[in-house]
Amino acid sequence: MTQTKTILRALAGETLETPPIWMMRQAGRYLPEYMATRGQAGDFLSLCYSPELAAEVTLQPIRRYGFDAAILFADILLLPQALGADLWFVTGEGPRLSTIQSQADFDKLKPVSEIDETLSPVYETVKILSRELPKETTLIGFAGMPWTVATYMVAGRGTPDQGPAHALKDENPELFDQIIDLLTAGTIEYLSKQIEAGAEVVKLFDSWAGSLKGADFDKYAVEPAKKIIAGLKARHPDTPIIAFPRGAGERYVGFAKATGADCVALDDGVTPEWAAKNVQNDSCVQGNLKSSHMVTGGQDLVDETRKIVAAFGKGPHIFNLGHGITPDADPANVQLMIDTVRGK
C-alpha cells in the first residue's frame, strides 16, 4: 500500500523534502492544558489509566502544533505494574516500585497472560485515538525495553548509574536473565495489543542502553530488541518499529541491521553529520535536537535545527529531540522549532 502519512513514508525509506516532526514527551508538564487535565485526573497514574483523559492529553500537542505523529500517553512502567510490581510516583522525585532482589521476589510476579487485566485501559486509549486523530497524523505506541525497565524494577526507582541492576546482572545472572526474558515476552504481548487496537508504529525506549558496555550491550540491548522486533514482525509484519538505544554512541552503527528496526532514534550525544554517514546509511533515523533548546530558544535553536535538517537531508529522517522535552520548556520555542523545520 502506498503511504500518504509522512512519518510512514519516512519509515518506508523515503527521503522527504521536509522531514516529518514530532517530539518526545510532547504531552507533558510544559503545557498548561496538560497540567489542567492531569489535575482533573487526580494524579499521573490515574491519567494513564483513564482512556478519555489520556486520549485528551495525547491530542493536546496535535491541536496546538499539528505534529505529524501523536504518541500514546502512558508510561514504560505500566508493564511492570501489570506484571505485579507495586508502582507509585512521588511528586518532584519520580517513580517508586517494589524491588526485585531475590528469586522469591521474582516468583511473586504474574505471568504475561495476565497483563491485559491491568493494561486494557491503555488499549482503549489507543482505540479512541485512532478514531479521533486527524487523518494525516500517525499514531505511535510504545514500551520500554527490558534492560531499562529492569533497572527500575531491580532498584525500585531511577538511579544515576543503574548500579543496582548492574550488580544483580553480575552477581545473579540466572535471576537477572529471568527478569529480562519475562519483560521481553511481556513487551511483545503489550505492543501487539497496542497495534491491534490501532497503533500504526511502535517505539522501543531503551533510555539506559548507554550504561551497557561491550558484550553486555549485545546481550541486554541488541538481543532483546532482536527478539521483540522478530516477535512483533511475525504477528504484524507491516508495522514499522523505531528503536531508541539512548546513549549507544558508536554502537548506533549497525543497530538497525542487527535488530531489524526500521528506524533508530538518536540522542544528542552524536553529531548529525556523523550519524548521517554512519547510521542513516542503514535505515531511517529520528532526532536529534538537544532538549535544552526548548528552554533557551533564540537564534541557537534556529541554527541547530537547520543544521540537523541539512545533515539528514539526503536520506529518510524524522525530526525529533534527542530526549524528552522538560517541564521548564517554553511552548513558544516548540513552535519556533516546527516553523524552522517546515521552512516557515
Feature table: binding site for substrate: 25-29, 75, 152, 207, 323
* Residue 216 backbone dihedrals phi, psi, to 5 degrees: -60, -35
Q: Is 38 a catalytic residue?
A: yes
Could you tell me which of 245, 326, 304, 235 has the C-alpha nearest to residue 279? 245
Residue 142 interacting with ligand CP3 (CB under 6 A): yes
Are 207 and 144 within 8 A, CB to CB?
A: yes
The rounded distance, in Å, linking the Cα atoms of 275 and 279 is 5
Residue 205 interacting with ligand CP3 (CB under 6 A): yes
Given candidates 84, 121, 158, 313, which one binds ligand CP3 under the rule CB under 6 A?
Answer: 158
The rounded distance, in Å, linking the Cα atoms of 249 and 269 is 7
Nearer to ligand CP3, 129 or 185 (CB): 129
Nearer to ligand CP3, 147 or 217 (CB): 147
Spatial CB neighbours of 13, under 8 Å, sequence gap ≥ 6: 283, 284, 316
Given candidates 8, 62, 76, 309, which one binds ligand CP3 under the rule CB under 6 A?
Answer: 76
Peptide bond into 288 cis (omega under 30): yes
Nearer to ligand CP3, 208 or 315 (CB): 208
User: Which window, 75-83, 102-110, 271-279, 329-337, contacts ligand CP3 (CB under 6 A)?
Assistant: 75-83
Given candidates 73, 123, 147, 319, which one binds ligand CP3 under the rule CB under 6 A?
Answer: 73
Strand partners, 143: 204
Q: How far is the CB of 76 from ligand CP3 (least distance, A)?
A: 4
Residue 24 interacting with ligand CP3 (CB under 6 A): yes
User: Which window, 18-26, 98-106, 224-232, 287-295, contacts ligand CP3 (CB under 6 A)?
Assistant: 18-26
- Mode of pairing for the β-strands spanning 241-245 and 263-265: parallel
Residue 324 interacting with ligand CP3 (CB under 6 A): yes
Q: Is 152 a catalytic residue?
A: yes
The rounded distance, in Å, linking the Cα atoms of 245 and 177 is 19
The runs of H, that is alpha helices, within 114-249 are 116-132, 146-155, 163-171, 173-197, 214-217, 223-235
What the block records as the C-alpha cell of 303 is: 541554527
Residue 26 interacting with ligand CP3 (CB under 6 A): yes
Q: How far is the CB of 297 from ligand CP3 (least distance, A)?
A: 20
Q: How far is the CB of 225 from ligand CP3 (least distance, A)?
A: 15
Q: Is 190 a catalytic residue?
A: no
Given candidates 59, 77, 83, 329, which one binds ligand CP3 under the rule CB under 6 A?
Answer: 77
Annotated binding-site members = 25-29, 75, 152, 207, 323
* x/- letters, 266..305, toward ligand CP3 (CB under 6 A): ----------------------------------------
Spatial CB neighbours of 63, under 8 Å, sequence gap ≥ 6: none
Place of cell 528506524: 263
Nearer to ligand CP3, 94 or 298 (CB): 94
Residue 234, Cβ density class (10 Å: 0-12 exposed, 13-18 middle, ≥19 buried): exposed
Q: How far is the CB of 23 from ligand CP3 (least distance, A)?
A: 8
Which of 152, 190, 220, 252 does the annotation list as catalytic?
A: 152
The separation between the first and the last C-alpha atoms of the chain, rounded to the nearest angstrom, is 31
The rounded distance, in Å, linking the Cα atoms of 318 and 16 is 9
Strand order in the sheet with 284-289: 69-71, 138-144, 201-206, 241-245, 263-265, 284-289, 317-321
Nearer to ligand CP3, 20 or 28 (CB): 28
Q: Which residues bind ligand CP3 (CB under 6 A)?
A: 24-29, 38, 44, 71, 73, 75-77, 94-95, 142, 144, 158, 205, 207, 324
Give catalytic residue positions.
Answer: 25, 29, 38, 75, 152
